Amino acid sequence: MQIRNSVVLITGASQGIGAACSRVFDERGARLSIVARDAQKLASVGGPNALRTAGDITRDEVRRNVVARTIERFGGIDILINNAGMGLYSAAWNAPMEDARTLFELNLFAPLALTQLVVAGMRERQRGAIVNISSIAGKMTLPWFTLYSVSKFALGSLTDGLRMELKPYGIHAMTVWPGYVKTDFQAHALGTRPPDAVRKGKRFAVTAGACAEAIARGLERDARNVVVPRIGWVLVALTRLLPALVESRLAAINQTRASA
């Protein structure tokens, strides 16, 4: 899909992958509408012509407002990037249900609701793209992150279904599966903390900019899935080929946290 002159709505745009996408898509000539809760951080993102909306996209009135403002300013929405998300470092068997619901509201239901709001206009124009930012944890369940993995598995499945449902209308859907990315993701996660081995793995992380570039290139070639860094495909393959071995190793890593 062509990015230049396309209207791109990006959620969670004030920092991390969302802020990097705002920069990369602005450099490619997109017309940006960006939304995040932090108005102060959002003010420094997206270039001089970006439309900025501060608000919590888990609230229906905020979702409807950002979509309406974007259509009013630009006439339509060509690309929706559902980037906003959060983590939950808790075991599924004892995680507070309030935290679980908060997680799913942001990671799954908000992207679904925004998709439903923008698809009508895309169908009329017979073009568009939905980009859902999942995680490598949505390809392989991480036991220190089980409910997060579940939410990202669900988001990936949603994207696959949307791609098949919307293909007759010229609308593409793409899932992005980032590995470890250099952001403040862990600092904003719910629950306790990841295992030490996971936190130390941050030194192998890719930058948010590299992730955003991979997303843009994926859109330009109408990719179905983008795994970044690409070595993540090796982990996915190992999970499918040697599931018992991978589960044993992940369980051992998780045990270090449980015993700490």
For 152-183, write each residue's pLDDT tens digit.
999 999 999 999 999 999 999 999 999 888 77
Q: In angstroms, how far is CA 226 from the centroid of its own chain? A: 12
**For residue 131, what are the β-bridge partners?**
81, 174
Give dist(CA 25, CA 29) in Å, integer: 6
Asked whether residue 214 is assigned to any structural domain, the reply reads: yes
Among 139, 211, 219, 201, which residue's Cα sits nearest to residue 178?
211
How many folded domains does the chain comprise? 1
Residue with tokens 């629950």: 191
For 29-45, write each residue's pLDDT tens digit.
999 999 999 999 999 99
Asked whether residue 178 is assigned to any structural domain, the reply reads: yes
Q: What is the pLDDT along the chain (260 residues), one digit of tens a residue?
A: 999 999 999 999 999 999 999 999 999 999 999 999 999 999 999 889 999 999 999 999 999 999 999 999 999 999 999 999 999 999 999 999 999 999 999 999 999 999 999 999 999 999 999 999 999 999 999 998 999 999 999 999 999 999 999 999 999 999 999 988 877 776 667 876 666 655 555 656 789 999 999 999 999 999 999 999 888 888 888 888 888 988 888 888 887 655 44
- Alpha helices for 76-175 (secondary structure H): 97-104, 110-125, 146-166
| CA dist 49 → 22, 33, 74 (Å) | 12, 9, 11
144: left (phi over 0), alpha (psi -120 to 50) or beta: alpha
pTM score over 0.75: yes
Torsion of CA 18, 116, 74, 64, to 10 degrees: -80
**For residue 8, what are the β-bridge partners?**
32, 79
Q: Which domain holds residue 147?
A: 7-258
Asked whether residue 36 is assigned to any structural domain, the reply reads: yes
Residue with tokens 């992380």: 205
Q: Which residues are tagged catalytic?
A: 14, 134, 148, 152
Asked whether residue 1 is assigned to any structural domain, the reply reads: no
Asked whether residue 219 is assigned to any structural domain, the reply reads: yes
Please list, in sequence order, all residues whose beta carbon lies within 8 angstroms of the beta carbon of residue 128, skipping any fewer than 6 positions away: 77, 78, 79, 80, 118, 119, 121, 122, 166, 170, 171, 172
pLDDT score, position 22: 97
Phi, psi for residue 236 in degrees, rounded to 5: -65, -45
Asked whether residue 232 is assigned to any structural domain, the reply reads: yes
Asked whether residue 2 is assigned to any structural domain, the reply reads: no
CATH of the domain at 51: 3.40.50.720
pLDDT score, position 205: 78
pLDDT score, position 189: 78
Among 53, 45, 56, 40, which residue's Cα sits nearest to residue 19?
45
pLDDT score, position 234: 84
Cβ count near 21 (within 10 Å): 32
